[in-house]
Structure 1
Amino acid sequence: MSVTITRTRRYTAVQKAAFAVGAVFLLVGILGFIPGITTNYDMLQGAGHHSGAQLLGIFNVSVLHNIVHLIFGVAGLLLARAVNTARGYLIGGGVIYLVLWLYGLVIDRESQANFIPVNTADNWLHFVLGAAMIALGVLLTRRTAVTSDTAVPRTTR
């Protein structure tokens, strides 16, 4: 007689969110290398503010920028496997994007410091991404405490 054990794995909301965010970053990294979706593709450079390529005609990109999106995407897919790492990916990644937002606000965009490269649209997207990722990481792992008001009373006989 053979016994078959079937395990179903349920993913938590934070794991699903980390997976979705990672998938979007992976997609964005791929799209950054596709002419037509990336306008001025012939102006795509390795790094720096001289890259004239723009994803969707809005967001400045370079080869470095696209590779970072690919790496960030793969990291999200891998870290979504466990609750703690999914939470860490969302919160840590959100912090990185908020720092990138601040960096984009203070640098001279025509200087060598703009190595990513970033423009105004990138800056505000980085802010929204950072805030959203942190919110997802925190809110989707928040535990609600059971208080005496909500506890189910026991009956004794």
Structure 2
Amino acid sequence: MKTRYFALVAGIVFLVIGLLGFVPNLLTLPASAPDLAVKTGYGYLFGLFSVNVLHNIVRLVVGILGIVAYRKFVHARLFARSMAIFYGIVTVLGLIPATATLFGLIPIFGHNIWLHALAAVISAYFGYMIWERELQAA
């Protein structure tokens, strides 16, 4: 049950954050912000997390996948494992200046780095821990 609830909660959180990224009043864009090829919806959500339309779409997709994965343990575990790997890679890419904007498409620098790292660690915990009762029920 723990892994399934993780998928549901993570899905809802990512869906909400993805939707909030489309609210213009929640975005600010400092003059020092790096240039992006995709400027639509570009700004800092709550003044902290850099987003643009593509970043928001990725979060919406992750959110929807999490909610759908909640239905079965095996899907929830696959979701958590995939999220751990995906956000682990995104964290590393965010640390490298040449790839911190995913080639100008998606901003993954600044505060997004620790947010993605946190998502990867929590996802790894739920994706790779073996919950005996969940395996028996699956």
Contact 1:49 1:112 in 2 (8 A): no
Name the count of aligned residue pairs: 126
Distance (whole Å) between structure 2 residues aligned to residue 54 and residue 27 of structure 1? 16
Distance (whole Å) between structure 2 residues aligned to residue 133 and residue 37 of structure 1? 27
> Which residue number corresponds to residue 10 of structure 2?
21
Whichever of the two has the greater Rg, that structure is 1
Contact 1:107 1:113 in 2 (8 A): no
Q: Does residue 19 of structure 2 align to residue 30 of structure 1? A: yes
Distance (whole Å) between structure 1 residues aligned to residue 126 and residue 73 of structure 2? 12
Q: Find the partner of 1:53 among 43, 54, 77.
A: 43
Specify every segment of 5 or more residues in structure 2 that has no aligned partner in the other structure, as ranges: 30-35, 134-138
**Which 4+ stretches in 1 moved above 3 angstroms?**
47-52, 109-112
Per residue, is there more helix in 1 or in 2? 2
Moved more, 91-100 or 31-40: 31-40
Matched residue SS, 2:118: helix
Contact 1:97 1:126 in 2 (8 A): yes
Contact 1:104 1:118 in 2 (8 A): yes
Distance (whole Å) between structure 2 residues aligned to residue 138 and residue 110 of structure 1? 28
Q: How big is the shift at 1:114?
A: 4.0
Distance (whole Å) between structure 1 residues aligned to residue 124 and residue 13 of structure 2? 16
Q: How does 1:1-157 map to 2 (within 5 A)?
A: 12-40=1-29, 48=37, 52-108=42-98, 113-139=103-129, 141-143=130-132
Distance (whole Å) between structure 2 residues aligned to residue 39 and residue 99 of structure 1? 27
TM-score by length of 2: 0.81
Q: Which amino acid aligns with 2:119?
A: L
Specify every segment of 5 or more residues in structure 1 that has no aligned partner in the other structure, as ranges: 1-11, 41-46, 145-157
Contact 2:37 2:105 in 1 (8 A): yes
